[in-house]
Amino acid sequence: MALLLWVSGCKTCGSHLPPPKPVPDKEAPADAGTVTSPADEPLSTTGCSDGKCKAPWPPPEVPTSFAACPTGSCGPGSQNGRGIYVSNTDVRSYCFRDEHAASPSFPYSFCPEFFINTPTGVRLQVRDWTNPNWVRDTPVQAWLEPASGTRQSVTLKSIRSDQSRLVITYETAGQVHEVTGAGLEQVRLGFQLSVIDDAYVYEMKLSAASGAGGPEELHRYRLDYRYKLGSTPSAWMTHCEDSAAGNRISFLGGKKVDGLTARVTDEPGVTTLSCETGAISTCLAWGYTPWSSRTGDPKWSDYLFRSCLHAKRAAYFVQFGDFKSYTVSGTEIFKRDPFGINSEQMPHFEALWSPRGAECLNTENARHGELLPASARLPPCTPIGWEKTEFGRLATSPQTLP
């Protein structure tokens, strides 16, 4: 069970005037952009808001493999995906599971990561839980199931997210329809996966969900699914099942986030889905949306989002090919950036972050220093200042030290 220590869960909510009061990982994230009293004067939260900052663009490269491994513990295994897509420790929350599986580890569990619009139709990429390096995509079908009425076949044209607002487009009887919000409830999505001699037929239904915290334009949803082996359907199950987090998911359009490395690539035809507690949804709720206008430059907004994916999970050593998360679920942190999106205090200044992980690290202030590898190699963050590293533009501090 030691592997569970790798799972990320570093939400924070220092959300009011002092003294700040962080909210545990399983609760709703705080409103983005809340400001506490000034702390650590060198970390100004107004230095970039006037548009004078120059974004270090393109972002520094993120390794795509685990070849370089100075810490000796670079392979994320199946744990890292939980940090990126969901932070809690239950496989049921992140993946479509098989209730018929005899093993408690649910060997036939498939973890959905994103929809892909192609010239020949919509596909869904899923990751195999037991072999996380194995991904496959499968065609997605659609039909309508009104509250009263018979099932109606349609041709699925696209699944997209305008920022975080999900839009499904389908055609029936020569007419093209777009649905969002409450209109999603009559749409059913389906796909099939084969495992050895078994064929799993999955059905999904979506509905809009309420949720507090984050930018006003952040939309949240609920996804339920069931499957059939043979002719017998399972009961409906909730994806991202976590009642404390509201059983919610968020969508992100135009970005593909790797489930092992959190490497972000721009893909116009891709819509990523993430559980409320995962780094993707959490960073959106913290205000680090790639489309934010608060930075004055969309490049900076994208830069902060990519940096946040690592900062949230304490994935310090990404630039060295170590994609592990060195924290545990429930750890509370503060955040600060030079644009004032978050201006929380830094009582135990930990690290400055970029899209390639931590640029510097005060190991004595690491969220869980006992998890750090002995051979960790990062310079200390001294003296503190945005200008002290070439790339670091997001600061973190644990609320308390272990």
- Answer for the pair 156, 140: CB distance below 8 angstroms, yes or no: yes
- Answer for the pair 85, 94: CB distance below 8 angstroms, yes or no: yes
> In a 10 Å sphere around its CB, with 0-12 CB exposed, 13-18 middle and 19+ buried, how is residue 270 labelled?
buried
Q: How confident is the model at residue 23 (pLDDT cuts 50, 70, 90)?
A: very low
Q: Which of 244-253, 275-284, 308-317, 330-339 has the lowest mean pLDDT?
A: 244-253
Most confident of 71-85, 92-106, 109-123, 205-219: 109-123
pLDDT of res. 28: 33
Q: Which residues contact 284 (CB under 8 A, 6 or more apart)?
A: 164, 214, 215, 218, 250, 252, 305
Kindly report, residue by residue over 189-216, the tens digit of the pLDDT: 999 988 776 788 899 999 999 876 677 7
Q: How far apart are the first and last CA of the chain?
A: 20
- Report d(CA 285, CA 151) in Å as an integer: 36
Is the pLDDT confidence value at 140 over 50? yes
Instruction: Say what the pTM is.
Output: 0.84
**Mean pLDDT (whole number) for 26-54:** 54
> In a 10 Å sphere around its CB, with 0-12 CB exposed, 13-18 middle and 19+ buried, how is residue 300 labelled?
buried
Residue 402 or 181, more confident: 181
**Mean pLDDT (whole number) for 217-231:** 87
Q: How confident is the model at residue 49 (pLDDT cuts 50, 70, 90)?
A: low
- Report d(CA 328, CA 178) in Å as an integer: 41
- Report d(CA 79, CA 165) in Å as an integer: 28
Q: Which residues contact 19 (CB under 8 A, 6 or more apart)?
A: none
From residue 299, alpha-carbon distances to 54, 55, 288, 384 in Å are 10, 7, 12, 24
The DSSP-derived string for 37-91 is S--STTS-SSSSTTS------SPPPPPSSS---TTS----TTTHHHHHH--SS-H
Q: Which residues contact 384 (CB under 8 A, 6 or more apart)?
A: 40, 42, 43, 346, 349
**Mean pLDDT (whole number) for 79-100:** 68
Q: Which residues contact 296 (CB under 8 A, 6 or more apart)?
A: 48, 49, 50, 51, 53, 339
**Mean pLDDT (whole number) for 147-152:** 80
- Report d(CA 297, CA 300) in Å as an integer: 5
- Report d(CA 300, CA 24) in Å as an integer: 28
pLDDT of res. 373: 86
Is the pLDDT confidence value at 1 over 50? no
Rounded to the nearest 10 degrees, how much is the dihedral formed by the CA atoms of 263, 206, 246, 308?
20
Is the pLDDT confidence value at 154 over 80? yes
Q: Furthest-apart CA pair in the chain: how many Å?
A: 67
Two structure tokens written together for 390? 């070439």
**Mean pLDDT (whole number) for 179-186:** 94
Amino acid at 222: R
Q: How confident is the model at residue 42 (pLDDT cuts 50, 70, 90)?
A: confident
Q: Which of 77-81, 96-100, 118-122, 247-251 has the lowest mean pLDDT?
A: 77-81
- Report d(CA 102, CA 26) in Å as an integer: 29
Residue 378 or 20, more confident: 378
pLDDT of res. 35: 40
- Report d(CA 391, CA 353) in Å as an integer: 8
Other beta carbons within 10 angstroms of residue 10's beta carbon come to 27
